[in-house]
Structure 1
Amino acid sequence: AYMVTKNTGYVKLNRFAATSMTEFHKAVDSLKQNGFENLILDLRGNGGGYLKTAISLADEFLEAGQMVVYTEGTHQPRESYRATDKGSFSTGRVIVMVDEGSASASEIVSGAIQDWDRGIIVGRRSFGKGLVQRPFNLPDGSMVRLTVAHYYTPAGRCIQKSYTKGAEDYAEDLLHRYNNGELMNADSIHFPDSLKYETLTKKRTVYGGGGIMPDVFIPLDTTKKFTEYYRKMSRKGIIYQYLVAYMDKNREEIKQKFPDFTTFKTDFKVDDKMFAGIKAASEKKEIEPKDSTEYEDSKNDIELLVRALLARDIWNTSEFYEVINEKDEGLKTAVEIISDKKKYQKHFKN
Structure 2
Amino acid sequence: MKHKLIFLLLSVVSLSAFAQPSNQDGRKLSMALYAISSLYVDSVNNTKLVEDAIRGMLDKLDPHSTYTDVEETKELTAPLQGNFDGIGIQFNMLTDTLYVIQVIPGGPSEKVGLMAGDRIIMVNDTVISGVDMKTSDIMSRLKGPKGSQVSVKVMRNNKPELIEFKIIRDKIPIHSLDAAFMVDKETGYLKLNRFAATTGDEIKDALATLKKQGMKNLILDLQGNGGGYLNAAIELADEFLGNNELIVYTEGREQPREDANASSKGQFEQGKLIVLVDEGSASASEIVSGAIQDWDRGVIVGRRTFGKGLVQKPLPLPDGSLIRLTVARYYTPTGRSIQKPYVKGDSEDYMMDFNERFKHGEMMNQDSIKFADSLRYETLKNKRIVYGGGGIMPDVFIPLDTTLFTNYHRNLLAQGLINREAMNVMDRSRNELKAAYKTSEAFA
Please, what TM-score do these two structures have when normalized by structure 2?
Answer: 0.55
- 1:264: how far off? 3.9
Match for 1:102: what amino acid?
S
- 1:141: how far off? 8.2
CA contact (8 A) 2:248 2:287 kept: yes
What does residue 286 of structure 2 align with? 107
1:95 aligns with 2:301: no
Match for 2:233: what amino acid?
A
- 1:142: how far off? 6.2
More helix by share: 1
CA contact (8 A) 1:14 1:46 kept: yes
What does residue 209 of structure 1 align with? 389
1:190 aligns with 2:366: no
Segments of 5+ residues of structure 2 without an aligned counterpart are 1-179
CA distance in structure 1 between the aligned counterparts of 2:338 and 2:429, rounded to whole angstroms: 49
Which residues of 2 match residues 24-103 of structure 1 at below 5 A? 24-103=203-282
- 1:225: how far off? 4.4
Matched residues, percent identical? 62
CA distance in structure 1 between the aligned counterparts of 2:264 and 2:404, rounded to whole angstroms: 45
CA distance in structure 2 between the aligned counterparts of 1:89 and 1:203, rounded to whole angstroms: 23
Bigger Cα Rg = 2
CA contact (8 A) 1:96 1:121 kept: yes
What does residue 181 of structure 1 align with? 361
CA distance in structure 2 between the aligned counterparts of 1:175 and 1:123, rounded to whole angstroms: 17
Match for 2:296: what amino acid?
D
- 1:77: how far off? 1.3
Match for 1:178: what amino acid?
F
C-alpha distance after superposition, 1:48-105 (max 9, x if no partner): 1111111100000011211111111133211111112230000001010100000011
Which residues of 2 match residues 1-350 of structure 1 at below 5 A? 1-136=180-315, 144-164=323-343, 167=346, 168-222=348-402, 224-258=403-437, 264-265=443-444
* 1:30–1:245 distance in 2 versus 1, CA, 3 Å: farther
- 1:206 partner SS: strand
Output the aligned Cα RMSD.
2.4
C-alpha distance after superposition, 1:208-247 (max 9, x if no partner): 012111011111123x142444324334544334434533
CA contact (8 A) 1:62 1:86 kept: no
Task: Number of aligned residue pairs: give it.
Answer: 264
- 1:144: how far off? 4.0
- 1:193: how far off? 1.3
Match for 1:174: what amino acid?
F
* 1:239–1:63 distance in 2 versus 1, CA, 3 Å: same
* 1:135–1:50 distance in 2 versus 1, CA, 3 Å: closer
C-alpha distance after superposition, 1:276-314 (max 9, x if no partner): xxxxxxxxxxxxxxxxxxxxxxxxxxxxxxxxxxxxxxx
CA contact (8 A) 1:122 1:217 kept: yes
CA distance in structure 2 between the aligned counterparts of 1:256 and 1:229, rounded to whole angstroms: 33
Q: Which one has more relative contact order, counting CA pairs under 8 Å at least 6 apart?
A: 2
CA distance in structure 2 between the aligned counterparts of 1:90 and 1:187, rounded to whole angstroms: 33
- 1:175: how far off? 1.6
89-98 or 158-167, larger mean C-alpha shift: 158-167
